Amino acid sequence: MKRMCRIVGALVLVTGLAACEPIDFDDGGGGGGGGNVQFTKGFAFVREDRNVYVVDDRGDPNSPKRLTTGGGAAYPAVSRNGRSIVFVQQAGPSFELRTVPTDGSAQPSTVLTSGTGCSGCTNFRYPTFNSTGSVIVFTFNRGSGNFALGKVNTDGSGFQALTNEPSTSFGAPSFFPDGQSVLAPSGSSSTQLTQLSRVSLSGTVTSITNELGNEVLWVVNRAVVSPNGQQVVLDGRLSSGGSRIFVGPLSPFSPPTRVTDHPGEAGAQDTFPNWLDTTQVGFLSDAGGGQNIYRVTLPTSQPSSGTLLIPSAGEPSYGGQ
């Protein structure tokens, strides 16, 4: 039996954490994210205090587990095995890549610090693990200008800039199933990510498409490869100023189809998409007020506002096994 928060009509305004019941995806796994239940698979996210939280698929979304203290955290991502989170820690002008175990058994450890091991690097964003959890790919810049992709081993060694194209900026990377390359939105600036590129861990950049089509002006921040490598989900900017979630074939690429909408809220922002499996997509939305995590099931005959999963969350990432 599935227990969750469901949206009635187009929008729901979440006014408190009591709005949700525990989530159950019936995935056959154990564990949970809230209280004393072990995390194995689910969401990592930040809240207004800028700390990292996790909720397992079988946990209570109203009672997430907090993994950091002191604030300053951003862009958490879950490892494939569900045992670790990588995130960006900012303190003043300094940026760090840090990891923390999902069971809360240890304090965060630093992988890479801006200016150390990555000369002149700053503005770390969007770190993500490869399938074995041994390599982290992320975006950064060198003080100004466009964002590049870089990689570093999780022990802090072997930093390498994967892209060196001053006229091109790259958005959040997502690993292909082969673990040897990432998909990343790209474009003339970080606010004009109008293309999709494949970037290998050796630094080879291959264009997938120069036109997104189907009302998508550009990718807001993230284009994510499906678990089977056949589809892409992205957060597309609309001419209205809002953004929605789009899904489409990846190989070969064809223009994606809108799967979320909020009638009457043209400016609502749906962003940070994640594949929960090959038929379910999770995403962040501010529709109705506040920022909450929702889900849509594919295929869908028409765009919807989705099913509420976790209230009061930001910058979500889904992972584990």
Is 4 within a domain?
no
Is 9 within a domain?
no
Contact 264, 10 (CB under 8 A): yes
pLDDT tens digits, 92-145: 889 999 999 999 999 999 999 998 878 889 999 999 999 999 999 999 998 778
The confidence score (pLDDT) of residue 214 equals: 86
- CA dist 240 and 201 (Å) reads 37
The confidence score (pLDDT) of residue 36 equals: 56
3-class SS of residue 19 = helix
Is 224 within a domain?
yes
**Residues of the chain falling short of pLDDT 50:** 1-35
Contact 29, 39 (CB under 8 A): no
Is 112 within a domain?
yes
Is 118 within a domain?
yes
Residues in a beta bridge with 197: 184, 207
Is 308 within a domain?
yes
Structure token digits, residue 100: 């923390």
Contact 232, 250 (CB under 8 A): yes
Q: What residues contact 189, with CB distance under 8 A and at least 6 apart?
A: 146, 169
Contact 183, 196 (CB under 8 A): yes
The confidence score (pLDDT) of residue 23 equals: 44
The confidence score (pLDDT) of residue 99 equals: 98
- CA dist 257 and 182 (Å) reads 22
Q: Name the percent of the chain lying above pLDDT 70.
A: 88
The confidence score (pLDDT) of residue 158 equals: 94
pLDDT tens digits, 8-49: 333 333 333 334 434 443 333 333 344 456 899 999 999 999
Query: The domain containing residue 154 runs over which residues?
Result: 17-320
Is 8 within a domain?
no
The confidence score (pLDDT) of residue 3 equals: 36
The b/e string for 249-269 (b: 16+ C-beta within 10 A; e otherwise) is: ebeeeeebbbbbbbeebeebb
Is 10 within a domain?
no
pTM of the prediction?
0.88
**Number of domains forming the structure of the chain:** 1
Contact 85, 52 (CB under 8 A): yes
The confidence score (pLDDT) of residue 216 equals: 97
Contact 169, 186 (CB under 8 A): yes
Contact 24, 3 (CB under 8 A): yes
Residues in a beta bridge with 102: none
CATH code of the domain in which 150 resides = 2.120.10.30
The confidence score (pLDDT) of residue 203 equals: 95
